[in-house]
Chain A
Amino acid sequence: MAAFVIRRVLAMGFVLFAVSVLVFLIFNVIPNGDPAARMAGKNVTPQVVEAIRVEWGFDKSLPVQYATTMQKLFTGDLVSYDNRVNVVDEIVRGIPRTFALTIGAAIIWLVAGVALGLFTAMRAGHWTDRLVTVLALVGISMPVFWLGALAAYYLGYKAGIFPNGGYSPISEDGLFSWVHHLLLPWVVLATLFIGVYSRVVRSTVLDTINDDYVRTARAKGLPERHVMTRHVLRNSLIPVVTLWGLDFGLAIGGGAILTETVFDLQGVGQYFAESIGRLDVPPVMAVTMFGAFFIVVFNTLVDIVYALLDPRIRLQ
């Protein structure tokens, strides 16, 4: 276990390095990517651009530029090329918003997905099963930005049931306002996953329910409730928990960009999207590292939890 974690941490260092190099290179080769030219603005003399280039070190070789950027990132001194705001401060400001959104949505989609999956598995072939199946496919097929825009427009702007976007910290306006602002984004982000999870749970439960040990459990005279929870669900949820950990890591690491933007939550994802629009390399680098970090961490956690849930799996 300890060896496993150490190896994973080393691997994570490698992944983060590779990702950061890739992103850095991409932003240096794309057209119109010269930061000095964009920082100087329009209608300036080449001398001004050159001065900025020297001042910010854009005249140095790429490896040196990369090293400086990374060093500043880890010392917390990295600032945006665009507005000179400290990148790490911006991310720290966005973290509670992104976490509030993704954690809430992940809980909603897990609970709703498992409940619907179990419901349809128990009624496989029944019309309610087919109805939920169709709804799940509709949920999977709806783009987040479209669903989010519809929800924000009709339920927020038109009907006034929900606030018109924005984030309300608990420390300022209390728990109710926090939930009130997040409810729509939660549901919108969760919709796709509820659809996927209900399908996955349905099929794993139907697989498990015909397993020999479930028949053994019935032959033992266990109450049906125990057969379902201790034997069917306990086994069929192993792949679901795995999937959940990976999806949650992905959502934090960038999957919530659209939802954050549609509802103007000002989280890390929205910051990322805006920075890309401005070809602002430092925040893009920083958020990429942030996202990659969570994705790798959750991958590792999933492996550990998987081994805990299934005794046949050993971490080696």
Chain B
Amino acid sequence: MTEPLLDVRHVKVDFRTEDGVVHAVDDVSFELRPGEVLAVVGESGSGKSVTAMTLLGLTRSPNASFGGTAKLRDLDLISATDAELRAVRGRDIAMIFQDPMTSLNPVHRIGAQIVEQIRAHEDISERDAMERVVELLQRVGIPRAGERVSSYPHEFSGGMRQRVMIAMAMSCDPAVLIADEPTTALDVTIQAQILGEMRELRERSGTAILLVTHDLGVVADIADRIAVMYAGRIVETGTLDEIFYDPQHPYTWGLLGSITRVDRDRPGRLPSIPGMPPSLSDRPEGCHFRPRCRHEFDACPKYPELARRAPDAPGHLDRCWLSPDAKRERRVMADGEIGLEAGGVTA
């Protein structure tokens, strides 16, 4: 196995608010290797976006405190100075945001906004930088890129703007691309195109991608590995196949059960996980999913380490105290596949 490019260990992010300390991210660890796509999935408020933005130092504020390490090669992004972070941002780690309609500055031309990033990191003339921008825009499928560089963001559609964001992210050939819900604000056909662009980017330049999403359809399309987050913690992580075909954590079962699938009969009603995620300033002891879980038993109030619990898969880790056999038993099997309508999920 190659050395990890990005090595995140026990990262913790707390925000002090008027209602107490919010533990937005708690003991999050993962690795990202060159050319790999790791998808971080979870519902709103699970800490996935905070994790992503913390890697770029975008959550730094007087009210935030951080723990753990996130090594990009030799630089720890958590303890790095602002100047060190600034040098890394956009050059080694680039980020694409959820809403392409608001992520570009409305008063500057598209081309100038990308040139600005290139020239922040490289000693290159305005003209050379602009040439590269035209090439980048062509590559992400923007027609007449030579003219469109002088357009303003409001003259582009949402999908086009997200392509511009991707071109911007690619402009300094970063080792890591963080994509925070890159397709959420787009309609489905555009989503597919944007995912195609990201896939191509990974294949051509070997960029590792950290994909933050709540859309399991997107995950199935592009991810190599998955980390499932719940209430600030990663509750399960493994390869795409491990998570989709052998999920260990009841929360993952619920998540998988609540998506519509064209290859299955439609259930009468789409299953959902009962209850609400806990408040991040007042979380239950031990397993955070406990109050919503059907399978709660006496071990659950103990803190569950993210550990290998399934014997046959070394990279497949989870935080559920149930024995692997109990897990397999409780995920009711149907037609040789996991019938996720049952188990930890109510229909």
Contact = CB atoms under 8 A, between A and B. Distances in A.
A305 interface: no
B58 interface: yes
Nearest to B62: A125
Contacts of A218: 56, 58, 89
B105 interface: yes
B106 A213 contact: yes
Given A215-B58, A230-B108, A311-B154, A221 B117 contact: yes
Contacts of B120: 220-223, 226
Interface residues of A, number: 23
A226 B99 CA distance: 22
A231 B108 CA distance: 9
B107 A310 contact: yes
Interface string B120-146: 110000000000000000000000000
B103 interface: yes
B97 interface: yes
A219 interface: yes
Nearest to A234: B107
A223 B86 CA distance: 7
Nearest to A215: B58
Contacts of B97: 212, 215-216, 219
Q: Is the interface of A mostly helix, strand, loop or mixed?
A: helix
A309 interface: yes
Contacts of B105: 213, 216-217, 230-231, 234-235
Contacts of A226: 116, 120
A34 interface: no
B89 A220 contact: yes
B168 interface: yes
B117 A220 contact: yes
Contacts of A211: 102
Interface centre among B90, B104, B107 (most CB of A within 10 A): B107
Measured as residues with beta carbon below 8 angstroms from the partner, the interface class of chain B is 20 to 34
A221 B121 contact: yes
B94 interface: yes
Contacts of B165: 216
Nearest to A125: B62
A42 interface: no
A221 B172 CA distance: 11
B87 interface: yes
B102 A213 contact: yes
B233 interface: no
B90 A221 contact: yes
B95 interface: yes
B116 A311 contact: no
A315 B207 CA distance: 44
A84 interface: no
B75 to A, nearest CB: 13
B104 A213 contact: yes
Contacts of A219: 56, 58, 89-90, 94-95, 97
Interface centre among A219, A223, A224, A231 (most CB of B within 10 A): A219
A235 B87 CA distance: 25
B58 A309 contact: no
A222 B99 contact: no
B22 interface: no
B152 interface: yes
B91 interface: yes
Contacts of A234: 105, 107-108
B177 to A, nearest CB: 11
Given A219-B95, A312-B152, A213 B103 contact: yes
B88 interface: yes
B152 to A, nearest CB: 4
Contacts of B86: 221-224
A220 B90 CA distance: 4
Contact of B104 (A216, A221, A223, A224): A216
A202 B121 CA distance: 31
B56 A230 contact: no
Contacts of A222: 86, 90, 116-117, 120
Given A219-B97, A234-B105, A311-B106, 14 more contacts: A211-B102, A212-B97, A212-B102, A213-B102, A215-B97, A220-B168, A221-B86, A221-B88, A222-B116, A230-B105, A234-B107, A309-B107, A310-B106, A312-B106
7 contacts: A218-B56, A219-B58, A220-B120, A224-B82, A230-B105, A235-B107, A311-B107
Interface of B: 56, 58, 82, 86-91, 94-95, 97, 99, 102-108, 116-117, 120-121, 152, 154, 165, 168
Interface of A: 211-213, 215-224, 226, 230-231, 234-235, 238, 309-312
